[in-house]
Chain A
Amino acid sequence: MSDEIAVRVAGDCRRGRAVDCSDRSLDPERVVSAVRDETVDRSASATALSVTCPDPRPVHDHVGLVEPATSVRTRTALAAAARSRGAETPVDDDLRSVRADLADLAVPETPDLRAARRRLAGTESAVTECRERVAALRGRIQAHRDAGRDATDLEAELAEATATLAERETERTAAREALSMVRRKARTSRDARERRRRLEDRLANLERSAREHLVEAVRDSFAAAVATALRAPAESHPDSGPDADPIAVDGVTAALAVARVADLRAPVVLACDRFDSPTDAATWLDAPVIRVSPRG
């Protein structure tokens, strides 16, 4: 049978459309990871776990694991469920083109503005200090000369201070130029970032309208699935009434109903007690199922 799956746990292999592993204490998350990537958990042979099954569709990210604490973003999950059934929307062409534009958009790295700022910092005060030192020396030399004293040592000091001032000025100019060059480069990078941000905004808007369309496409099936899920045994649903908003049901019910609406290829990992047997679950969900015991 084409949608038969195989679960191997430490040498024990179980096959079928509904595989019951509730007798083993398997972490549900671990089982889901193995569903999503067959090779992920082949570590120590004593506990190795692998699941052979078709590749999951994106909707599996939302409802691939259902456990008592499950909560789904119902609308997002429903949109993925609609996609799994091949639903299309009027904005799909735009979505493709914006995604392609985004993929093609090259955003240059921002140059190292920080280093350039750090280099410039302090160069101004260094120049000021040197200028003051030169002026002070000049004053003292003049005073020495006026008093008829020898100023040779001071003149040597002045020559040195003047040279240092020239160095500091050169460094300041170089640091300023370096920073403005880096700022020009940064502008190019920011132009690209700005374009990317606009595209991402547009993408988000398109995704929103696609989601609305997709949710609308499966709303009735979802409401029907919720209605039968609520009639399903095992747990009581105090919030449910005939007028209840199907979107506002508890997490487990919502996840199961989305899974029923979706066309799932990969198995749903079930760690909740909503069905009498894994086979019942697989039938209701119309999808392969791996039953595990809840964690903790």
Chain B
Amino acid sequence: MLLVVTYSRAARGTLRNVCRTHEGCVVRRFGRAALLAETEFAAFQALRLREKHGGDVQIERTRPFNEFEALDPDVREAARAYETRDRPSVPYSNFAAGTDHPDPERLRGADLPR
């Protein structure tokens, strides 16, 4: 999808208008940002917004996240285990220490595959 983020009141106003006028290409709206469908028409609207407001408009392309493709099982398992931990106050680094769960520093240093 296309993620359009605005950084000024004027750009936010135009985004709002675009979303109102072209509901069909809006997947979701969040205040000053919106997710647009992955169509050339939506891209056209996003580009138009950037032509008008320049650096106050950021356009990114998102991709679906599939944790079964993007991650080793240990990360998924760690997430599940941590969210069902007995003591809610334990930070993840302590929770993972001395277990098979991945170290948070290692996770920080590991990029998702492109």
Contact = CB atoms under 8 A, between A and B. Distances in A.
Instruction: Check if A and B associate.
Output: yes
Interface of A: 109-110, 186, 189-190, 193-194, 196-197, 200-201, 204
A200 B32 CA distance: 14
Shortest beta-carbon contacts, A-B, top 4: A110-B55, A193-B7, A200-B9, A197-B8
B54 interface: yes
B56 interface: yes
Contacts of A197: 7-9, 12, 32
B58 interface: yes
Interface in B44-101: 54-56, 58
The DSSP consensus for interface residues of chain A is helix
Interface residues of B, number: 9
20 contacts: A109-B55, A110-B54, A110-B55, A186-B55, A186-B58, A189-B55, A190-B55, A190-B58, A193-B7, A193-B8, A193-B55, A194-B7, A196-B7, A197-B7, A197-B8, A197-B12, A197-B32, A200-B8, A200-B9, A201-B9
B53 to A, nearest CB: 10
A196 B8 contact: yes
Given A190-B58, A201-B9, 17 more contacts: A109-B55, A110-B55, A189-B55, A190-B55, A193-B8, A193-B55, A193-B56, A194-B7, A196-B7, A196-B8, A197-B7, A197-B8, A197-B12, A197-B32, A200-B8, A200-B9, A204-B9
Nearest to B54: A110
B7, B8, B9, B32: most-surrounded residue (chain A CB, <10 A): B7
Nearest to A200: B9
B93 to A, nearest CB: 27
A200 B56 CA distance: 14
Contacts of B8: 193, 196-197, 200
A101 B58 CA distance: 24
Contacts of B12: 197
A201 B32 CA distance: 12
A72 to B, nearest CB: 23
Nearest to A111: B55
A266 B66 CA distance: 68
